């Protein structure tokens, strides 16, 4: 089930499902730990002796955000109860406090009393064992706690601070369903404390005049100690919940629109998707620098694990999008995170927790009795490549000085060592984490990394290293063309497997990741070989249903929907793969008319977004519903990258400035190329 409207601040992340139920609450890191473990947190209304939880089918729901900010705009209507609710959710931009503002409107034309109920099924630090929840007379709220994690829940009914009623009790112990059942008669027991596997429910009373509206606020504050959450609660009182929400709304609008970008070459919905993607990206990035792939705990039912990890590859491509969007502090923090987690052998392992510790993995350290490296080499390569993209825009020499040896020299030197006799990378796992061999995407990424390392070494005056890295890139490019390009088929191999005689067995499956050929600078986008390969991808991997979109590769099995008609539906449509095709059209465009060939793919992406703007990893080829995790950070990053590249190319073709910060780097690169030509 997708997470339709995540809100967060890099420390506290709260996600909602499509029924407007809180499902995930992460703190103190984005992605770790999840204090709900994915369990439902309910919200319900009692009026005139009748009750309904918002997941009931009698509600109509609209889950969106306010424009250009990380404050939601949720509309709920229940004709049986004669009630309409407008809810706004936000995590304070500075403090670990989640807010909900509820405006209730009477639809029956008479005075009424509403009771709003909020249920909390918390498992503090991801375990229900040893939890305590108690009513706290000092704050007038409830507090769940265990060890060094305290969660305070409180409210303001429009007149008084503090909750009006509450219940604490057991959950999933014997026949105990939880205190949410206690709310359905409109009354709560007011049991003062419970311990063990516990939950809680609070209530706020709201008085309505005929056909009028009234407002209440509800919040969750989280901290390391009782005093910490009491101080946060006091801050809410002193500043007022509405003022804290207002400042948060203003902050995110400022953050998301700080660059004076001219979006006029694009349709307005694409501009809106760009800004929304930028904001959703931020919810998935930890303040410590880790960029999380996704935070949707429902995937655990399919995979037994989550996406709440930092893959260096995904993180590097997201960091590139942040660079293009002018968010240099976030890209810088990611590279500092990479510097911390990089091992002494100068290559990255599979994935990392947001704390920097090594995460779960399915890559073995031995295969058929032989020791191997459990790596995806593109992860190491793309961090180096993205670091160069960062520097080309921000020119932060002092920052590069501090990471140069660790993130440039050491990884590039290892890359040169980890090559076979032809100059290609030795086998590693592919970007889809399914096959081990020498992959076209990995080769292209590694060429880009060596070119980046050569440019850095040249800047640092290390001319011998620059020559060594540059020669390595050229040799690898030559080997890629000699051994992976098949002229008779007019395409590259997806993967080469080394054989004992020194040759390779080639896998000619078409794979959308071949976009890496031009994306990382291995070959120009208009190279005839790239053109032939990308045209084959477009023809064979496009999903031929009314939904459309690009599959990852032929007969893609991951979450596969269609198993028979593979010529028409080679796999589920992926957001990133569809946008890669747009990036190719952008990269090779020489006229504005050619550039516009990328627009249908951007418009396709916008049509696949949820009403909130959230994008999944992939969609159902028959009905377009989200499949797998949602939002996927990589999907939103690819929107930002593709839109920015479109605007930059439009500016280059027309001479009209885009307002993108990255335009300066393109100007510098053009000047450098002109000098080199002389």
pLDDT beyond 70 at 667: no
Mean pLDDT of 549-558: 97
- For residue 501, with 0-12 CB atoms within 10 Å meaning exposed, 13-18 middle and 19 or more buried, which class applies? exposed
The pLDDT of residue 678: 43
pLDDT, average across residues 12-28: 97
Mean pLDDT over the full length of the chain: 95
pTM for the structure as a whole? 0.96
Q: Which of residues 210, 228, 255 is at a domain's end?
A: 255
Residue 114 within any structural domain of the chain:
yes
Do 215 and 353 fall into the same domain? Answer: no
In terms of pLDDT, which residue wins out, 669 or 376?
376
Q: 381 pLDDT exceeds 90?
A: yes
Helices (H), 395-525: 397-403, 410-417, 440-459, 463-484, 516-519
36-45 pLDDT per residue, tens:
999 999 999 9
| Cα–Cα distance measured from residue 473 to residue 525, given in angstroms and rounded to the nearest whole number | 18
Reported as type and span, the H/E element at residue 91 is strand 83-91
Q: What is the pLDDT of residue 592?
A: 98
Lowest-pLDDT range, 91-105, 161-175, 273-287? 161-175
The rounded distance, in Å, linking the Cα atoms of 270 and 264 is 10
Q: How many domains does the chain divide into?
A: 2
* Confidence at residue 299, expressed as pLDDT on a 0 to 100 scale: 83
Please tell me whether residues 211 and 281 are part of one structural domain.
no
Question: Which residues have C-beta within 8 Å of that of residue 469, sequence separation ≥ 6?
Answer: 412, 416, 450, 451, 453, 454, 457
**Residue 245 and residue 297 in one domain:** no
Residues 448 and 359 in one domain: yes
Q: Judge whether 2 lies within some domain.
A: no
Per-residue pLDDT at 95 exceeds 60: yes
Answer yes or no: is pLDDT of 675 > 60: no
> Does residue 116 form part of some domain?
yes
Least confident of 315-319, 557-561, 603-607: 557-561
| Inter-axis angle of helices 377-394 and 440-459, nearest 10 | 40
Structural domain includes residue 223: yes
Could you give the percent of the chain with pLDDT greater than 90? 94
Q: Is residue 461 part of a domain?
A: yes
| 263 lies in the same domain as 203 | no
Q: In terms of pLDDT, which residue wins out, 315 or 298? A: 315
Residues 347 and 420 in one domain: yes
**What are 259-290's pLDDT values in tens digits?**
999 999 999 999 999 999 999 999 999 999 99
Provide the CATH number for the domain around residue 394. Answer: 1.50.10.10
Domain shared by 496 and 635, yes or no: yes
227 and 278 in a single domain? The answer is: no
CATH number of the structural domain spanning residue 102: 2.70.98.10
pLDDT computed for residue 672 by the predictor: 53
Rounded CA separation 605/327 (Å): 23
Q: Report, as an integer, the average pLDDT of 610-630.
A: 96
**Are 85 and 134 found together in one domain?**
yes
Indicate whether 389 pLDDT > 80: yes
Q: Which domain, by its residues, includes 197?
A: 7-255
Report residue 192's pLDDT band, with 50, 70 and 90 as the boundaries. very high
Taking only the tens place, the pLDDT of each residue in 593-607 is 999 999 999 999 999
Q: Report DSSP state, residue 48.
A: T
- 1 lies in some domain: no
Domain stop point among 237, 255, 273: 255
**Residue 382: band (very low, low, confident or very high) from pLDDT cuts 50, 70, 90:** very high
Torsions phi, psi for 559 (to 5 deg): 55, 30
* pLDDT confidence bin for 2, thresholds 50/70/90: confident
Q: 255, 270, 297: which is the final residue of a domain?
A: 255
Identify whether residues 221 and 268 lie together within a single domain: no
Structural domain contains residue 135: yes
Residue 54 lies in a domain: yes
As a whole number of Å, the CA-based R_g of the chain is: 27
265 shares a domain with 229: no
Q: pLDDT, tens digit, for every residue of 437-458?
A: 999 999 999 999 999 999 999 9
Is the pLDDT at 677 greater than 80? The verdict is: no
Which residues lie across from 61 on neighbouring strands?
76
- Strand-strand pairing, 495-498 and 436-439: antiparallel
Beta strands in 121-197 (DSSP E): 131-136, 141-146, 149-156, 165-170, 193-196
In this structure, what DSSP letter does residue 305 have?
S
Average pLDDT for 569-585: 98
Cα–Cα distance measured from residue 120 to residue 16, given in angstroms and rounded to the nearest whole number: 13
Q: Is the pLDDT of residue 358 over 50?
A: yes
Do 27 and 108 belong to one domain? yes
Closest alpha carbon to 233 in 98, 103, 72, 122: 98
Q: How far apart are CA 425 and CA 116, in angstroms?
A: 60
Share of the chain above pLDDT 70, in %: 97
């Amino acid at each position: 089930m997708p997470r339709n409207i995540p809100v967060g601040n890099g420390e506290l992340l709260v996600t909602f499902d499509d029924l407007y139920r809180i499902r995930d609450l992460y703190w103190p890191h984005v992605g770790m730990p999840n204090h709900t473990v994915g369990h439902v947190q309910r919200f319900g209304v009692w009026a005139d002796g009748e009750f309904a939880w918002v997941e009931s089918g009698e509600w109509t729901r609209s889950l969106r955000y306010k424009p250009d900010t990380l404050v939601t705009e949720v509309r709920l209507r229940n004709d049986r109860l004669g009630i309409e609710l407008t809810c706004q959710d936000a995590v304070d931009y500075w403090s670990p406090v989640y807010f909900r503002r509820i405006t209730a409107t009477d639809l029956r034309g008479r005075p009424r009393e509403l009771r709003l109920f909020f249920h909390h099924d918390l498992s503090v630090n991801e375990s229900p064992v040893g939890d305590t929840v108690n009513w706290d007379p000092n704050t007038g709220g409830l507090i769940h706690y265990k060890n060094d994690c305290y969660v305070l829940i409180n409210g303001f009914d429009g007149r008084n601070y503090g909750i009006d009623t509450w219940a604490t009790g057991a959950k999933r112990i014997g026949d105990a369903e939880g205190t949410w059942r206690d709310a359905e008669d409109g009354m709560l027991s007011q049991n003062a404390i419970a311990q063990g596997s516990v939950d809680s429910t609070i209530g706020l009373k709201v008085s309505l005049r005929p056909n009028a509206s009234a407002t209440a606020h509800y919040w969750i504050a989280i901290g390391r100690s009782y005093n910490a959450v009491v101080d946060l609660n006091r801050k809410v009182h002193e500043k007022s919940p509405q003022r804290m929400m207002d400042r948060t709304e203003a902050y995110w609008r400022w953050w998301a629109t700080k660059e004076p970008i001219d979006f006029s070459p694009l349709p307005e919905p694409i501009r809106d998707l760009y800004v929304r993607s930028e904001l959703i990206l931020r919810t998935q990035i930890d303040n410590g620098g880790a960029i999380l792939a996704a935070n949707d705990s429902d995937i655990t039912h399919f995979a037994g694990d989550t996406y709440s990890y930092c893959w260096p590859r995904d993180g590097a491509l997201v960091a590139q999008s942040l660079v293009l969007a002018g968010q240099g502090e976030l890209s810088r923090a990611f590279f500092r995170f990479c510097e911390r987690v990089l091992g002494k052998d100068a290559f990255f392992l599979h994935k990392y927790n947001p704390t920097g510790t090594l995460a779960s993995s399915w890559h073995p350290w031995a295969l058929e009795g032989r020791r191997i490296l459990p790596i995806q080499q593109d992860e190491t390569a793309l961090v180096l490549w993205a670091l160069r993209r960062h520097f080309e825009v921000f020119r932060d020499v002092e920052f590069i000085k501090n990471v140069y040896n660790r993130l440039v020299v050491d990884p590039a030197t290892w890359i040169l060592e980890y090559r076979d006799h032809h100059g290609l990378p030795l086998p590693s796992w592919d970007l889809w984490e399914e096959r081990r061999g020498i992959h076209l995407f990995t080769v292209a990424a590694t060429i880009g990394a060596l070119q980046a390392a050569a440019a850095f070494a040249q800047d640092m005056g290390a001319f011998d290293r620059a020559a060594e890295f540059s020669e390595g890139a050229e040799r690898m490019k030559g080997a890629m063309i000699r051994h992976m390009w098949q002229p008779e088929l007019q395409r590259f191999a997806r993967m080469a497997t080394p054989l004992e005689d020194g040759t390779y067995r080639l896998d000619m499956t078409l794979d959308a990741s071949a976009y890496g050929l031009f994306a990382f600078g291995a070959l120009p986008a208009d190279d005839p070989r790239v053109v032939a390969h990308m045209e084959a991808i477009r023809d064979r991997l496009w999903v031929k249903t009314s939904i459309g979109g690009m599959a990852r590769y032929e007969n893609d099995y991951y979450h596969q929907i269609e198993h028979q008609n593979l010529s028409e539906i080679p796999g589920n449509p992926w957001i990133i793969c569809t946008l890669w095709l747009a990036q190719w059209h952008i990269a090779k465009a020489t006229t504005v008319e050619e550039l516009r060939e990328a627009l249908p793919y951007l418009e396709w992406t916008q049509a696949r977004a949820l009403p909130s703007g959230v994008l999944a990893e992939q969609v159902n080829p028959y009905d377009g519903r989200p499949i797998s995790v949602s939002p996927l950070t990589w999907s939103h990053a690819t929107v930002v990258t593709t839109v920015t590249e479109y605007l930059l190319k439009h500016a280059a073709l027309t001479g009209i400035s885009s307002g993108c910060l990255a335009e300066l780097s393109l100007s510098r690169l053009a000047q450098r190329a002109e000098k080199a030509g002389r």
